[in-house]
Structure 1
Amino acid sequence: MLWVFIKDRLLYIVCIIVIVLLAVSLLMLEMARYPGMVEPGTVYYFLLLALVALIAWFTADYYRQRYFLKQVKEALARTNDLQASAIVTAGVTGEQRLVMELLQEQHRAFLGELSRHRRSQELHNHFALQWVHHMKTPLSVIHLHMQEGAERGWSTEEEQRAMAASVLEETERLTRGLEMMLHTARLDKFELDTHIRRLPLHELVRTTINNHKRLLIRHSIYPKVEGELWVESDEKWLVFVLQQLVSNSIKYSKHKPGSKTLAFRLRELEDGKAELAIADEGIGIAPQDISRVFDAFFTGENGRTTGESTGMGLYLTKKVLDKLGHGVKIRSELGAGTTVILTFRPAGIHVMA
């Protein structure tokens, strides 16, 4: 530690020695020009004083900075400790204090990034557990049907059709669950998996409806598409969002008796933006839950009522739309239905988050 201190000030020492030697040289010249003006002992005394002053100054400076150097040495020894830089707190010079301030800012930034990473990892792990739990249900239903068929068979064609329809519905649930898991994994590399282009939104809506037509028919939900619209977005991610929203509408509408309407209204706004409103006639959302529907794993009253919610559908929808630069908001009336409104920027003004 002492050698590091001396080595760091070697240039200062050399400069001071050069200055002292120059001063002595001038005195020697004066002695040569004016004999007897300066005694040789005076020169030796000057050299001794200069040496003592130099040693005293460096000794005092070393003891002043010794604690700081000790802290740095201890921090360097703790190579596997992420908090090591936090122990360096005894800077005495302006440069040292600037370095400490930089270290503290970097440390805070690192801890913030680490916290975000841990939160993301916790969300991913929790979602994986939730996903596995929810995927067990359709697998159990399919296994039960197959076991029943193997043991006693199906006596009538109607029973066979009912079994096939049930198995198909559970298979579709598995497919949607797998798609959600895959898209969740891709969110971390969103920018590498995105291609923005002009898309016919009305056609994507109709494709999404067609993908859910079996469930819509089974639960007496009748889709209605109003208007046509072209928007700039990524087709794959936008279809994922539409699938989540339609799936949610079906999930929370099927328990209401009678026929229901699922309306898709596409229109251009006066400010050049475009809007898609998806309105169902389901059970609606409790007023106290509206502000939290986009939170991860939040299921609210509906989750406790239906038992089918993962709390991830709307969370992922919001994340994807934010990254695409689209807006989303929800209006709902308990017992009357829910309307989800997607807002798209004007053409050519797309900025991906």
Structure 2
Amino acid sequence: MFILVFIISLLLYGGLVYYIGWRGLHWLRPESSSRRFTILYSLVVLLAASSFIVGRMTGLTFINIIGAYWMACFYLLLLLVPLAHVTVILLRLTRLPRHGTQKWAGFITLGLLIFFMAYGSFNAFSPVVRDYEIQIEKGSSSLDSLHIVMAADMHFGLLSGKSHAERFVEKTNELNPDLILLPGDLFDDDVQPFLDQEIDKVLSKLHAPMGIYASLGNHDRHDGTMMELIEALEQGGITVLYDETVDVQGDFTLIGRKDRIDRERLPLNLLTKNINTEKPVILIDHQPYELNVAQQEGIDLMVSGHTHRGQIFPGNLLTDAIYENDWGHIQKEQMHSIVTSGFGFWGPPIRIGTRSEIVSIGIEFE
């Protein structure tokens, strides 16, 4: 079954690449093309189209970078090229010269591609701070309020690299949090670029008096063991909660879950079985599923990522249809769910309709 789906997906991808390449060839040489030019053009398109797959298979840095930017261009061209094609067909019904309309459609498409690539890169690498203020009807004698900074989906690796990590540390520390929570996808499928760039040393500069805690996501994996990933994070002073609970200074309980795709993930009721739910309970869970279960188990705040809010429009329409809360804050009785669109990105290094972000959560206890 998997092989059949892979073949169908590959054929569909190949067909779309052929269509985009064919329209590009018509724009570059609308009347006639020499055989040599056509072969060279086809070879360039073929190499670009295969770079993402080849890069993931081989791990070659240069090919991976080309593949990531190709996927950004490919996604945008899937939206722009059909629009330009239809426009050219409609303009044939007018007296405008066919050659001229096709040329201008090509130039406008190229201009829009460059604009959206620049705009999307700005959104991806220029994070903003989202502020939320919530109230929890619990507390302790020593805790009236709590300031949490939360971020997820950094996907630290080749493109979301050391400079982006330094940006994250600088902006997070500027917020002066009591507690930092990182709900998953800190790696981009492989721990090696993270270690090669010494991102663990960058993250070690994060500061929060009540600690820095993380859960792992679906991209936090590689060819080695899970403990190697956990050790890489803990070298940077981050405590990974891997289906574990921790009492923080006797004021509240943190629960960090394994990712939803982990077959050994424990049910939430086993993790909450021996904790004191009369004090605040905060859940770190990468994927924002089963909000009703979290509410029933006495969770007061659940922080998540994973959705990227679709990352590139119209992906947000899909995530909004899949998740009860795909971005932002909702409340279900006593439980608050806050989902971030993410600090980094996966695949195409652009964001359109979304923005790289860090979340600041102010909690008042009653």
TM-score under structure 1 length normalisation: 0.27
More strand by share: 2
Q: Which structure would you say has the larger Rg?
A: 1
More helix by share: 1
- Structure with the larger RCO, 1 or 2 (CA within 8 Å, 6+ apart): 2
TM-score under structure 2 length normalisation: 0.26
